[in-house]
Amino acid sequence: MPKKIGQIIFLTIDFPPMSGGMARHSLDIARAIKGAGEEVTVITSGVSVSEKYEDKTGLRVIRLKGVRAGRCFDHYFRSLLIFFIYGFIYCLSHPVRAVFVNTWSLIGPAALVLSKIFSIPYFVFAHGLDVYAPLKDKKAMWLMKLVLRNSSLVLAISRYTRDLLGREIKGLNSMVLNPVVDLSRFEFFFGRINSVSENKKVILTVGRLVESKNHESVIRAMPNVIKAIPEAMYHIVGDGPAEQSLRQIVADLGLKDKVVFEGNIADEELPGYYYSCDIFVLVSREIPERGEVEGFGIVFLEAAACSKAVIAGKSGGISDAVLDGVTGILVDPLDVEAISSGIIKLLSDDEFRKRLGENSRKRVEETLSTDKLSESIKGILDAE
């Protein structure tokens, strides 16, 4: 079958050099579209970034000066209008055959109108917070339903997200398309991060310091862990509004010599932290009243790419990212005893820890790599 004429435009608020899972996911999607043999242009919010960085992505990236990722929801309609106007001008001047959108909540309405004007399909990724948050807001729910029902296909990042959407929007055309990991990021790291002591049992968490990531439960588990494994250390990579309260808990528990706050780390340095740890832990929890939930957890795949066993919270879509007893251990994120027992089990049982880590690496190689995402996207586009 001859290839359909036209390129793909990908609308996303978050894109590198922004940090975080959404930005990483956006980069992986764009590269996967390109890997599917398509010409793709990324249209994203503006940041201060050099052309040198954009060259590294290997993609055509257009940044909208009037939109700032951290402030776009403070100026919702202005940001939406800018995305729409630029998308409209781009579709007028280029042959565009499809639009991908990395979340419905700001740029989805722009994609919907572009679709109607130019008779082109659009595909929307659904995560966790973007689906959960509108449940208590009638206007947001109405808009979400309008955007998603008119899309050609909703791509839910986990079974949890798909099922949540299915309960709220009957008959929605959707499928699960898990995030992936770019294995090439983790292939050529040698050495150990200087701040991570060689003779310690290192527990690592990578994530924003916010309540839903639940660093607090891991910190409170540390006294039990240290009793069983005195050489245990907990390293936390990331920053955020909860940092001061977490530091206070560390001080109150007398753990200043056992818990290290590494701060925000450049993307290229992250592999070193994963390789330098013994296990990865992130016990995210749901906060229903604020609509906060972990839709999947790309950091689990990053740890898997480095053959690390993990302990994860049994909440949201994490069970798609971590297979209990196969690639890691799922625990009640509010059960400090269960968390400490899981950590002690993995740090004490070298054979079990190694087996889970090997299973993790094998799984991402076989099913959750960027090559697999390219195959999925090619199938979606060919079916359109």
Each residue's pLDDT tens digit, 22-65:
889 999 999 999 999 999 999 998 865 544 445 456 789 998 88
Q: How far apart are CA 15 and CA 22, in angstroms?
A: 7
Class of domain 184-366: alpha beta
Do the two domains 7-180+369-383 and 184-366 of this chain adopt the same fold?
Answer: yes
Per-residue pLDDT of 115-137, as tens digits, reads: 999 999 999 999 988 888 888 88
Lay out the sheet containing 279-282: strands in order across: 259-263, 232-237, 201-206, 279-282, 310-313, 328-331
Total-model pTM: 0.90
Task: Tell me what the mean pLDDT of segment 9-34 comes to.
Answer: 90
Average pLDDT, the chain: 90
CA dihedral angle for residue 331, residue 333, residue 338, residue 344, rounded to 10 degrees: 80
Q: Where are the domains of the chain?
A: 7-180+369-383, 184-366
CATH number of this structure's domain 7-180+369-383, picked from the four choices 3.40.50.1370, 3.40.50.2000, 3.30.70.3270, 3.30.56.10: 3.40.50.2000
Handedness of CA 299, 59, 13, 116 (dihedral sign): negative
